[in-house]
Amino acid sequence: MRASMKGVTLDAASSTATALFLLGQASDPAPEAGVTCPGALPAPNDPGLVARAQRAKAALGDRVVVLGHHYQRDDVIAFADVTGDSFKLARDAAANPRAEYVVFCGVHFMAESADILTGDHQQVVLPDLEAGCSMADLASLAQVERCWQHLEDLGVTGVVPVTYMNSTAAIKGFVGARGGIVCTSSNAERVLRWAFERGQRVLFLPDEHLGRNTAVLGLGMSRADCVVYDPNQPDGLTPAQLLEAKMILWRGHCSVHQRFSASGITEVRRLLPGIRVIAHPECRYEVVAEADEVGSTEAIIRAVEASPSGSAWAIATELNLVSRLAHQHPDKQIVFADRTVCYCSTMNRIDLPHLVLALETLAEGRAVNRITVDRTTAANARLALDRMLMLP
């Protein structure tokens, strides 16, 4: 029997060893971010991992700042100096100029943004370089350049490009160089208003759901104002459709958030009458429209914290965050808004062994798994990030 994994074919006899190798330390043949993880990764069953991480972090002192996204595992979050959603972490990365090293416990596009926003004297480390993002993978620079050219050829003018934070530095650079801007899940509405003050329509990359949800539920557009551009079918929309559209949505999505369904929300309401539903805006329109509240990871945490004891919440976002909230609020009923569990597999790649490797090597003066963005890309991407960070 033969099995296939990310383009690699494995024989049954060797599949276990090879699969473990692929999951832990090998190179991924077609990644957004994945390359070989060099260095000796500590064994996951090493009972001294927590002590080793504590020792290395203490030795580094304020030379290091550890940033942790809310989707990280509990044992990694325990070492974070700052936790946040992607907007807050981008600001925090820029706000720590004294730290020589930024260890980013999150995914590749977040670490790239941190490298762009930090000084030349600072080094950003992503503990596992294979912690990419499947959504960011759905928009390559070549595809976006082709789309832009296609719009120009058809005479579709007045287009402001807006990219979600969850995109590569190359896409942020493309957008920045064309007068565009970055948004996150916490400021997408404000960013779209900014864009519509400057143009007639928006090319929204790479998450069609965040784009549609914000345009329709935030700005009051109709669903018909939004068209979906499929990079694999560049001629799929007629010139008339593109000329009439206000929002040209890139056909991209988050594999984790796309799992939530309107029927799942109906079911949870039937099982737990009176429960409040809060959804991340990367969920489909049908889910977000059914929810009582919509917000970034940080907004979800704030909503739960602000609710009185005895409240009940069904949460449509990644499971590490939902289960942490459930443990932190035993006086509230907190449930996952889907029938099946769903972690973000790439966020989960950052585990204690990788964090130990990152901290111990930094304590030895070596930055393993450093993230660097080339100067031209970084300068253009910075334009798009700064436009977002300067919004009131």
CB of 69 to ligand 13P, least distance (A): 6
Residue 160 — φ and ψ, nearest 5°? -105, 120
- Partnered with residue 200 across adjacent β-strands are none
Contact pick of 96, 166, 213, 214 for ligand 13P (by CB under 6 A): 166
Distance CA 197, CA 210 (A): 20
CB neighbour list of residue 14: distance below 8 Å, 6 or more residues apart = none
CB 175 within 8 A of CB 162: yes
133 near ligand SF4 (CB under 6 A): yes
Binding to ligand SF4 by CB under 6 A, coded x per residue (else -) over 196-225, reads ------------------------------
Backbone CA torsion sign across 51, 103, 126, 369: negative
> Which among ligand SF4, ligand 13P, none contacts residue 255 (Cβ within 5 to 8 A by kind)?
ligand SF4
| Choice between 123 and 185, CB closer to ligand 13P | 185
| Choice between 170 and 188, CB closer to ligand 13P | 188
Contact pick of 15, 18, 140, 255 for ligand SF4 (by CB under 6 A): 255
Contact pick of 162, 175, 256, 288 for ligand SF4 (by CB under 6 A): 256
- Partnered with residue 316 across adjacent β-strands are 279
Region 57-76 residues binding ligand 13P, contact defined as CB under 6 A: 70
Contact pick of 215, 254, 383, 388 for ligand 13P (by CB under 6 A): 254
282 near ligand 13P (CB under 6 A): yes
> Which among ligand 13P, ligand SF4, none contacts residue 86 (Cβ within 5 to 8 A by kind)?
ligand 13P
297 near ligand 13P (CB under 6 A): yes
347 near ligand SF4 (CB under 6 A): yes
Q: Which stretch binds ligand SF4 (CB under 6 A): 127-135, 170-178, 240-248, 293-301?
A: 127-135
CB neighbour list of residue 57: distance below 8 Å, 6 or more residues apart = 64, 66, 79, 359
| Choice between 71 and 196, CB closer to ligand 13P | 71
Contact pick of 53, 76, 254, 314 for ligand SF4 (by CB under 6 A): 254
End-to-end alpha carbon distance in the chain = 58
Query: In terms of C-beta density within 10 A (0-12 exposed, 13-18 middle, 19 or more buried), how is residue 366 classed?
Result: exposed
DSSP string, 88-155: HHHHHHHT-TT-SEEEEES-HHHHHHHHHHS-TT-EEE-S-TT---TTGGG--HHHHHHHHHHHHHTT
CB of 190 to ligand 13P, least distance (A): 14
32 near ligand 13P (CB under 6 A): no
CB of 88 to ligand SF4, least distance (A): 15
CA distances for 171 relative to 18, 136, 234, 378, 381, angstroms:
33, 9, 18, 11, 8
60 near ligand SF4 (CB under 6 A): no
CB neighbour list of residue 177: distance below 8 Å, 6 or more residues apart = 380, 383
> Which among ligand SF4, ligand 13P, none contacts residue 130 (Cβ within 5 to 8 A by kind)?
none
Edge-first strand listing for the sheet containing 370-371: 82-84, 64-69, 101-105, 123-125, 370-371
> Which among ligand SF4, ligand 13P, none contacts residue 134 (Cβ within 5 to 8 A by kind)?
ligand SF4
Q: Which stretch binds ligand SF4 (CB under 6 A): 35-43, 236-244, 292-300, 339-347?
A: 339-347
> CA geometry: angle at 328 spanning 113 and 210, to 5°?
40
DSSP string, 72-86: S-HHHHTT-SEEE-H
213 near ligand 13P (CB under 6 A): no
CB of 254 to ligand 13P, least distance (A): 5
- Positions in the binding site for ligand SF4 (CB under 6 A): 107, 133-135, 166, 254-256, 318, 344, 346-347
- Positions in the binding site for ligand 13P (CB under 6 A): 70, 85-87, 166, 184-185, 254, 282, 296-297
